[in-house]
Structure 1
Amino acid sequence: MPELPEVEVVRRGLARWVTGRTVEDVDVLDARSLRRHVHGVEDFRGNVTGARVTDVVRRGKFLWMILEDPDGPRSALAAAPSTALMAHLGMSGQLLIEEPDAPLEKHLKVRLRLSAASDADGTPLPADLRFVDQRIFGGMFVTDLEPTTDGRPGGLGGGSLPLIPRQAAHIARDPLDPAFSAESFHRRLRERKTSLKRALLDQGLISGIGNIYADEALWAARMHYARPTDTLRRPDTLRIVEAVTTVMRRALEAGGTSFDSLYVNVNGASGYFARDLEAYGRAGQPCRRCLSEGRTTLMRREAFMNRSSFLCLFCQPRPRNARA
């Protein structure tokens, strides 16, 4: 599954290429990708065609484009948009910006034709936004926006609108969100009484972190995945938050982590952060930090929640009161 940096790379691309443009036409090639839009294909077309994209927002791994209704706002918030086009990438979903005459992708599911627009230097922008999905676990749907419970913006992007799709309202804020509170996260960690990695993977506690970045952050923070959360002191929590934030910012600079051709940005380019992974997938290889400090310690792979955890047992010793 793509994690926060991969989805944020897509959000930034869409924000650049799609914001301010009107959807002039919609072509649905596979209705299965609209299964989350319960009112069907024609209703989807009717909601999207003619709407103007005013911004692109992300919370955790959830991504949505705010739509301005051509007939005017229907929201209770004065002059605010009321609907959003959500895109769930699933296992293999891609949102690609293409020229209309570019060859159609083999697994193209939904095609949006956008109004004409130009880049800052006057170069015309491609007019197709294509949703491609090989495994069909992802999809698109239109949904209403509702006020956020804390009165803060719904996520990263979206200006100052305190609105969020209902389907994303249960998702916690992520460390890159300006409204994320490390203090609140610390309190909830202490209350949860679980293992640290389980907590990091809990999207209702902190969002956007998957298996790869959890392992990378734990290695960077020198903390074992089985550390009980109720033993964490405030400096411990701040250390893991800082590690998660740093790892994700580094991944963003590299365009995300792509192990195959499925995880790409809106231009179809793969990220290359996989080259810089310190923990994930490095079982049997020397821990780079130990090497830099004159030791030869091999990275280990341990079973965890029907998946794997990668760690260095010298840098990340297992606590005596470990939780699975």
Structure 2
Amino acid sequence: MPELPEVEVVRRGLEPRTVGRRIEDLEVLDPRILRRQSGGVDRLRGALAGTRMTAAVRRGKFLWWRLADETGQDTGEALMAHLGMSGQLRVRTPAEATAPAASEGPAPDPLRHRRLSLHLDDGTAIDLIDQRIFGGLWASPLEPGADGAPAGLGSPDALLPAAAAGLARDLLDPAADLPAVARALRTRRAGVKSLLLAQDLVSGIGNIYADEALWEARTRFDTPGTALSQRRALAILRAAGEVMERALAVGGTSFDALYVDADGRSGYFARSLAAYGRDGSPCTRCGTVLRRVLHQGRSSHFCPRCQRPVPRSRKDVP
């Protein structure tokens, strides 16, 4: 599933191609891709009719476009997108009128898995390609964010789609309050990896980057939040932010055909992973063989020497 770095790569690819463009048509090939849209395709067509995209925004793993009407006034709604497990938003130029561009990365068949297309006034199409159809597109009303800061990267103001109102800020958001997030982590008894994945404390982190952050911070996945010191909780959050920044710099992490950027290129951070997917290989820090265990339905990769349980009586033993 695309995580924060992958979704941010997609946003950055879409922003210059979509912001300022008018939506001319909505082409729906598979109505299942609109299952989040109340009222179905007719409701979405109505929300998009005559609108222009004025901003491409991301918070966590959610993307949205701000919409303005023909007079330039904000419509009060956002066009939301979520990539789910296998979704891609791919740019198709007028020169590629019959099909999306040939992939420079391991993309699934774009004709077979194209579910929806947005046709823009310059002839460009934005294709939503989704092999498993867990992603989707839908319109969501805007509402003021609680803290008054910009709603996400690329947002002009604090207006947040209602569909993302319960989503915490992510670690690449300048408005994220890391000390407050660390304090919140320490109030919960669940394992720290589960807390990182919960999205209500901090958003955008999935299985890959949680494992990488915990390896960087020398903390086991099942360490209770209540066993963390403030210093260690902050170290975990900072490690997660740093590893996602590194992933973002190389286009994210692609293991298979299910993640490519807006131009069909794959990311290369898989070559730099220290923990995730490396079970049976030596830890690059101490040489101990890395392990993988199933915990609460998810695989967790860790070093049994570097990432020992935190003693409850001594909360900050490295």
Once the two structures are overlaid, the 10-residue window that deviates more, 87-96 or 103-112, is 103-112
Whether 1:131 aligns to 2:128 is: yes
Task: Give the equivalent residue in structure 2 for 1:122.
Answer: none
What SS does the aligned partner of 1:82 have? strand
TM-score calculated relative to the size of structure 2:
0.91
Task: Give the equivalent residue in structure 2 for 1:148.
Answer: 145
Q: Deviations over 1:57-115 (max 9, x none)?
A: 11111111111122553xxxxxx551111011111111110124142621111111112
1:153: Cα distance to partner?
A: 1.2
Contact 2:144 2:159 in 1 (8 A): yes
Q: Deviations over 1:140-163 (max 9, x none)?
A: 11111110011111111113x111
Mapped to 2, the partners of 1:297 and 1:41 lie a distance apart of: 54
Mapped to 2, the partners of 1:312 and 1:99 lie a distance apart of: 46
Q: Deviations over 1:266-319 (max 9, x none)?
A: 0011111111110001111010111xxxxx311111121112111111111123
Task: Give the equivalent residue in structure 1 for 2:279.
Answer: 283
What SS does the aligned partner of 2:166 have? coil
Q: Which amino acid aligns with 1:302?
A: V
Q: Which amino acid aligns with 2:114?
A: L
- Choose from 103, 106, 113 the match for 2:112: 106
Q: Which amino acid aligns with 2:18?
A: V
What SS does the aligned partner of 2:237 have? helix
The 3 A distance-change label for structure 1 pair 81 and 50 is: closer
Q: For 1:42-191, what aligned pairs fall within 5 Å after superposition?
A: 42-70=42-70, 73=73, 80-100=74-94, 101-103=97-99, 105-116=111-122, 127-159=124-156, 161-191=157-187
Mapped to 2, the partners of 1:320 and 1:192 lie a distance apart of: 16
Q: Deviations over 1:237-270 (max 9, x none)?
A: 2211110011000110111111111101100111
Q: Which runs of 4+ in 1 moved over 4 A?
A: none
1:320: Cα distance to partner?
A: 4.4
Task: Give the equivalent residue in structure 2 for 1:220.
Answer: 216
Q: Which amino acid aligns with 1:115?
A: D
Contact 1:60 1:173 in 2 (8 A): yes
Q: Which amino acid aligns with 1:85?
A: L
Q: For 1:182-261, what aligned pairs fall within 5 Å after superposition?
A: 182-261=178-257
Task: Give the equivalent residue in structure 1 for 2:32.
Answer: 32
Q: Which amino acid aligns with 2:113?
A: H
Whether 1:314 aligns to 2:305 is: yes
Q: Which amino acid aligns with 1:128?
A: A
Q: Which amino acid aligns with 2:121?
A: S
Q: Which amino acid aligns with 2:293?
A: E
Contact 1:87 1:141 in 2 (8 A): yes
Q: Percent identity?
A: 51
1:24: Cα distance to partner?
A: 1.3
Mapped to 1, the partners of 2:89 and 2:140 lie a distance apart of: 18
Task: Give the equivalent residue in structure 1 for 2:104.
Answer: none
What SS does the aligned partner of 1:191 have? coil
Mapped to 2, the partners of 1:107 and 1:238 lie a distance apart of: 41
Mapped to 2, the partners of 1:135 and 1:196 lie a distance apart of: 29
Contact 1:283 1:301 in 2 (8 A): yes
Contact 1:175 1:245 in 2 (8 A): yes
Q: Which amino acid aligns with 2:291?
A: R
Give the alignment's Cα RMSD to 1 decimal.
Answer: 1.6
Mapped to 1, the partners of 2:177 and 2:150 lie a distance apart of: 14
Contact 1:226 1:319 in 2 (8 A): no
How many residues align? The count is 301
Mapped to 2, the partners of 1:280 and 1:44 lie a distance apart of: 39
- Choose from 289, 292, 296 the match for 1:298: 289
1:231: Cα distance to partner?
A: 2.6
Mapped to 1, the partners of 2:311 and 2:226 lie a distance apart of: 14
Gaps of 5+ in 1: 74-79, 117-125, 291-295
Contact 2:227 2:312 in 1 (8 A): no
